[in-house]
Amino acid sequence: MSIQASAYLRATYPLGSPPRVFVLHWDNHKILSKRRDKDDWHECYGTRYPSGAVTLENGMFYKTMSEMEAAYRAMGDCRIEWLDEQEKQA
């Protein structure tokens, strides 16, 4: 017997929305350093919780999504892909 993801999330988070998982893509073209990877795009998984807090796979924590975006836009460009939206399209 298997359980559907939507049923699991409704049972786990009955009073609020579940956390959302995303992939953050960024580059470092604004950083002035000889060691930077100017043309390389990096990626990591992240989670946005119902409280608004954001955690990233690389150990970073932000109070809000806009705080995280501001930090990564200061280094270069960044893009966010929500994984639950990709599942709906498939």
Place of tokens 């200061």: 74
Measured CA distances, 48 to 5, 55, 61, 74, 79 (Å): 17, 7, 10, 20, 15
Q: Are 19 and 49 within 8 A, CB to CB? A: yes
Which of 1-15, 25-39, 74-88 is predicted with the least confidence, judged by mean pLDDT? 1-15
Strand segments (E) across the chain: 20-26, 42-48, 54-56, 61-62, 78-82
Instruction: Read off the pLDDT of residues 18-56 as tens digits, 9 standing for 90 and up.
Output: 888 999 999 877 777 666 555 678 899 999 998 899 999
pTM listed for this prediction: 0.72
What mean pLDDT is reported for the chain? 81
Tokens representing 52?
Answer: 């608004």
